[in-house]
Amino acid sequence: MIRRSCFLLSLLQAVMSGQWSADTPRDVTAQNGLCARIPCHYRYLSTLKDKSRTGIWFNKNTNKKDSVAFHSRNSSRESTKFRHRTRLSGVLKDNDCSLVIDNVTQQDAGLYYFRVKFGGRNNYSYPNVTRLHVTDFRDKPTIFPAEMVAGQPVTVTCIFNTTCDGTTPTLTWVTPADEPTSASHSVTQRADTLTYTSVLSLTPALKHHGQNLTCRVRYPTVSSEQILTMTVQYAPQNLSITSPNNVNNSWVSIKEGNSAAILCSVQSFPASNLTWRHLGVTQNTTRSSNELWMEFPRLTRQDAGVYQCVAENEHGTVERDVTLTVEYPPQNLSITFHEDANSSRVIVKEGNSAAILCSVQSFPASNLTWRHLGVTLNTTRSSNELWMEFPQLTRQDAGVYQCVAENEHGTAERDVTLTVEYAPEISWDSGCTRTPESVTCVCAARYNPPGELTWHLPLAGNQTRGRLHTWQVASGHLVNGSLTLRRGDGGEGMMAVCSVRNRHGEAMFTVYLSMEGKSFSIWIAVLLTAGIILIAELAGLFIYKCIQRREDVTTEKASGNQDTNVIYCPHSAINQSAGSGEDGPAPEELRGGGESGEGEERAVVYANLRELPSSGDTVHSGEGVEYAELWFQSKQGEGEG
């Protein structure tokens, strides 16, 4: 009978246990600082449906004394560490026994089970045990980036999802310190998930590119954050041009023949399309890159010029110029006179002004110097042009001049010959000499350029019967013409004119061809009758007149024509001078025609005016005369002198 009763009791318990059951997970994991939720749905006897009940969650301890984690009727019976932190997420009457533990800590980890009480004998502890695991807080908010353009307002959204509905998290923003911000907040729920949302409004600037926006979620004991690096789109700016050869004030200077590389870089987002241009022609280009090189394997002078780098993206365009200069030594040195370029010879008339330009091609600009006979005339620094000026040219300015150009890469020079031209000038070497057989007159002149020397004789027909001879020698700027008349030639007593002509003018020299003089017997008789006193007076008068004539000659300026001076003096004066017994040469007698009528005799005096400077150079027309050499000679008859 007892055995049968035990069997029936066990069978009854089996039937009852099928009605008392619960669905709980074996393991639940919660993050430190958040909440832990143990899902639970229980079943019981249907006859107890309308009965009041009490739900209790226990935490199994290692000391075998379970502590109350939750008590639906009397929270004072809850363990101190769980008090005010536990609750049911559902309703017991609806068979929902899910437990929520807020602000979970590592001390909350362990085993949990559920017990329900209906009163009397209808109490049941469900054997299902759930192990709670507590990990570090790892949930973070999420930032949804938005396209940012400098200067344009934008909104950025941050959300945080959680299944804990006990403690409400706080969402905050950390932005650049100088950016005023405003944010709106909201909470939505879908099933067991709560979504916390914060929307930030701001106006990004270029300076914010690359800075951080931070969305932070905070619980009482833990917090986490998400960082967004701001990518602010903006038009290209801060375009720069650099080179290993250095860029100075937007220009690059490189020696000819060397290689060169120039880098164009810009700041922009998104990256720009870069282009190098020269004279309107695209050299090279790249897309979506903020850097572009331009390379020259071997520079020539033709590569010099202005280059533009252009950067462009969807927000704007910017460009910058760089001047590439190619350095080289002085070349193509030229000398220009008036409009005649590359002159090697400059011809200017004496007395005129002249300006000669020396120019050169070089970079950097050359130091230019004019030199003459090894002496520096003028110079200029860092200039590819230099003038040499002559306000009034003289023939002493003629000669070879050198222009020298020099910079740090080399030197070039060139010569120019300056020629000074002038009209013919009769030289003081001109004059006549007589021998017993002939008279010879020499016409000497200086001129530049060479011209023509011509003798003019007022003779008709062949009056000289072949006895008049001329010859001419030209050497450099000097020409000598000679006229010889032999005795017995019909041209005696005539005047001969030597003319020398070039493109600048003409000079003439007049001589009197005389082989013999007239008889002076009448003059001798007169002089003997007049006596010693008259002779002395006439001699004194002659000397005075000759000295006065010399002074007049020295003060005259040359007019291009120069005549030999022929002075007629009384025969007595000549005798007085020639017969004084003084030693000295007596030149040949020249005879001239009388001016006072037949029978009047005059002695011919030939004056060759000369200057004897210390240098011994020939004296030119118009210059001062130190003294005059005078030769006197008279004849009583043939054979007398």
Report residues of the chain scoring pLDDT below 70.
1-18, 62-64, 339, 459-467, 488-493, 515-641
Q: How does the average pLDDT of the chain come out, rounded?
A: 78
Burial category of 432 from C-beta neighbours within 10 Å (exposed 0-12, middle 13-18, buried 19 and up): buried
Within a domain: 45:
yes
Within a domain: 6:
no
- For 408-474, give the secondary structure using H, E and C: CCEEEEEEEEEEEEEEEEECCCCEEEECCCEEEEEEEEEEECCCEEEEECCCCCCCCCCCEEEEEEE
Map residue 13 onto helix, strand or coil. helix
Residues 308 and 349 in one domain: no
Residues 537 and 624 in one domain: yes
pLDDT of residue 424: 95
CB 30 within 8 A of CB 134: yes
pLDDT of residue 248: 75
Within a domain: 449:
yes
The residue from 89, 107, 135 where one domain ends is 135
Residues 496 and 527 in one domain: no
Range of the domain at 272: 233-326
**Neighbouring residues of 247: CB distance < 8 A, sequence distance ≥ 6:** 241, 262, 322
Residues 29 and 66 in one domain: yes
Within a domain: 107:
yes
Closest CA to 389 of 360, 411, 412, 418: 418
Rg (CA), the chain: 67
Residues 508 and 530 in one domain: no
Within a domain: 333:
no
Give the separation between CA 498 and CA 511, rounded to whole angstroms: 8
pLDDT of residue 18: 57
pLDDT of residue 467: 58
pLDDT of residue 466: 53
Residues 103 and 197 in one domain: no
Within a domain: 418:
yes
pLDDT of residue 65: 79
Residues 79 and 60 in one domain: yes
**Neighbouring residues of 383: CB distance < 8 A, sequence distance ≥ 6:** 365, 366, 367, 368
Within a domain: 637:
no
CATH of the domain at 396: 2.60.40.10
Residues 24 and 131 in one domain: yes
Residues 29 and 122 in one domain: yes
**What is the per-residue burial (b if ≥16 Cβ within 10 Å, else e) of 335-364?**
bbbeeeeebeebebebeeebebbbbbbbbe
In residues, how long is the chain?
641
Give the separation between CA 291 and CA 271, rounded to whole angstroms: 9
The residue from 422, 454, 475 where one domain ends is 422
Residues 40 and 127 in one domain: yes
Within a domain: 542:
yes
Give the separation between CA 224 and CA 384, rounded to whole angstroms: 73
pTM passes above 0.85: no
CB 237 within 8 A of CB 193: no
Domain count, the chain: 6
Give the separation between CA 357 and CA 345, rounded to whole angstroms: 13
Helix (H) or strand (E) holding 531: helix 521-555
Residues 539 and 612 in one domain: yes
pLDDT tens digits along 85-116: 999 988 999 999 999 999 999 999 999 999 99
Residues 27 and 126 in one domain: yes
Burial category of 383 from C-beta neighbours within 10 Å (exposed 0-12, middle 13-18, buried 19 and up): middle
Residue 587 phi/psi, 5-degree rounding, is: -75, 170
Closest CA to 566 of 479, 496, 471: 496
The residue from 203, 230, 257 where one domain ends is 230
